[in-house]
Chain A
Amino acid sequence: MPSHCLRGLRRKDWVDGTVVQTLAFIPDRTTSGGPADEFHETSINWEDDETVLAFTLDRRLQSEHGVARLSRVQIDSIRQLRTCIGQLEYERKTEDDNPHHGNLLYRKGCTKPLEKMIASALALDAEFIPRVTP
């Protein structure tokens, strides 16, 4: 797995200035994925190489307000917290038009305060990359 992943910031309220908001990492409860479909998903692109950032920003629908970059070390440090063990995972899940696609996975049944804590911790450690308009 690559050392970093990118989360497209689709909504304006997912970033405040240069600060990534908790909202950006709350999972989509309409999704079902991961092993045995036991997880809700938050879409990411794995930063396989130096082209993936531009690739992600090109998909304007998902990244209108920039991109949040997370390191896998940051994700793993949250996963290893005692209350988070088994609650947060990640995967690669390529799509026809996106070979870099993956997901952060939140276990279904995770309590909502814990889910929000995870999202907040991820946002806090994320690096904001703005969209540069020419």
Chain B
Amino acid sequence: MTTLVMQNWLYENSPEGSYLLRRDFVPEASYALKDAAAVPTSVDAITSRIASRVGTLSNPRMNTELSEILRQFRFTASDPDLEIDRTAPLEIIDSEDGSVLIEWHFKDRRLGFNIEPEEGQSGWYFAFSRESGGQCGSGTLPSLDMKALLHLILKQPLHR
């Protein structure tokens, strides 16, 4: 399936149908040569709490989703153009409603991933404080564009 890219993906809080869809992901040739050892120490450090929970969630699907979110985050955050040094570690939290939240906190913004007991409801979200513009966005996992999200939350220009 051709990758579809819609304009104004994040900045207009677009409905989910307009998000980037990537169904037949083909890794770059260089990706095949990357392994865990090539991931910068800082990425390991900020994702260690998430990594420690792999395989521990209450059902196989949720564990798969956790692993996939972690994989995509680590891969994308390893981009040397992204400045993640001195950022806080990602947190993983069990909610009373049965969901598991992965969140990355900054002073004026947050990026989150929700892993839900209900199939099809896991996804991503972000929020900026009112003082920082009040942008918010969310979507389900099929619409996840980790590169765009990390560039947005780190306030760094996205080049494709």
Question: What is A's interface to B at a CB cutoff of 8 Å?
Answer: 13, 16, 19, 21-23, 26, 28-29, 74, 77-78, 81-84, 111-114, 116-118, 120-121, 123-125
Contact = CB atoms under 8 A, between A and B. Distances in A.
Nearest to B99: A112
A49 to B, nearest CB: 25
Contact of B139 (A29, A84, A113): A113
A29 B117 CA distance: 13
A123 B123 CA distance: 19
A113 B13 contact: no
A124 B91 CA distance: 15
B134 A77 contact: yes
Nearest to A13: B93
A121 B127 CA distance: 5
The 5 closest A-B pairs by CB, nearest first: A113-B123, A117-B125, A121-B127, A113-B138, A112-B121
B28 interface: no
B137 to A, nearest CB: 7
Contacts of B124: 113
Nearest to B129: A124
Interface of B: 12-13, 15-16, 91, 93, 95-97, 99, 101, 103, 105, 108-110, 112, 114, 116, 118, 121-130, 134, 136-140
A123 B109 CA distance: 10
B136 A116 contact: no
A82 B105 contact: no
A28 B124 CA distance: 20
A118 B138 CA distance: 9
A114 B143 CA distance: 13
A117 B95 contact: no
A78 to B, nearest CB: 7
A26 B138 contact: no
Nearest to A83: B13
